[in-house]
Structure 1
Amino acid sequence: MSLPRTAVAAAAATAALALLALASPPAAAAGRQGRSGGADGTDGRFFLTVSGAQNTWIRGVQLSCPDAVGHHPHAAEACTMLHRAKGDPGRVTGAGHQCTREYDPVTATAEGDWNGRPVVWHKTFPNACALDVATGPVFRF
């Protein structure tokens, strides 16, 4: 019996979030650690995902700021962009390059916290290039 791709993708995302929760220190301790590390007191921890049309594929990464730790390949730049946007991925300004009008939708999600405030954000973009233009290094993994 074969499972639908959406069920497999949902199960993978749920498992990744569960692992992130187990690996995370308690929220109060995490906030204190980040505040002592950041010059302006902002800190955050996100689990970022990007998935293809109809969840045919999914990838994710953990990002912690201001320490820029985790497996994000552009962690320092992503933390800088999120700092400027006050932890709101929807306010991040990305690269200013042009994209083709190809329609191959991707969905980006960010779940975690910024300066003790919970953040749950998701948006679907017409293609990966449009995602990069909108979010820059944050979802470049």
Structure 2
Amino acid sequence: MIRAKASVILLFSLLSQLFVYLLNLGFTSDLFGVFVFMVIGGILFIQVGLVIGLLLHSSKTSAALSSIIMVVLFMTATFYPQLPEWHNVLQFIPSVVVVENMNGVFNGEFLGFELVLLIGWLAVFYLIIQSLVKKELSK
């Protein structure tokens, strides 16, 4: 059930991101590289929402908190370039990591540190989810 919901969320997330990309930039060769990070970013945001949902047992509270956190992550990724003095802190936030990897594709750069951070975030959230699910199943 959770996988089905997550798949639908990821599908609509990807469709909306693709629509915005094509509307703003048209069909370019960067689309293929950026698409990978769109998928990974979508998975990361689903993982964040899943962790919140597993920690809070009220669907209304989980939805409200998830919405707030998603808006904060989105706004942070949008405005972090205007805060260069905070770069050393903001560079570790998951949404900023995804955006930095996408910018690397646009600039033709390989960003090893940011890629490792992204994989690290995916792994951390995966392990948290596994732990929370195991805890729920053992009740």
TM-score, structure 1 normalization: 0.35
Question: Which structure features the higher share of strand residues?
Answer: 1
**Greater relative CO, 1 or 2 (CA 8 Å, sep 6+):** 2
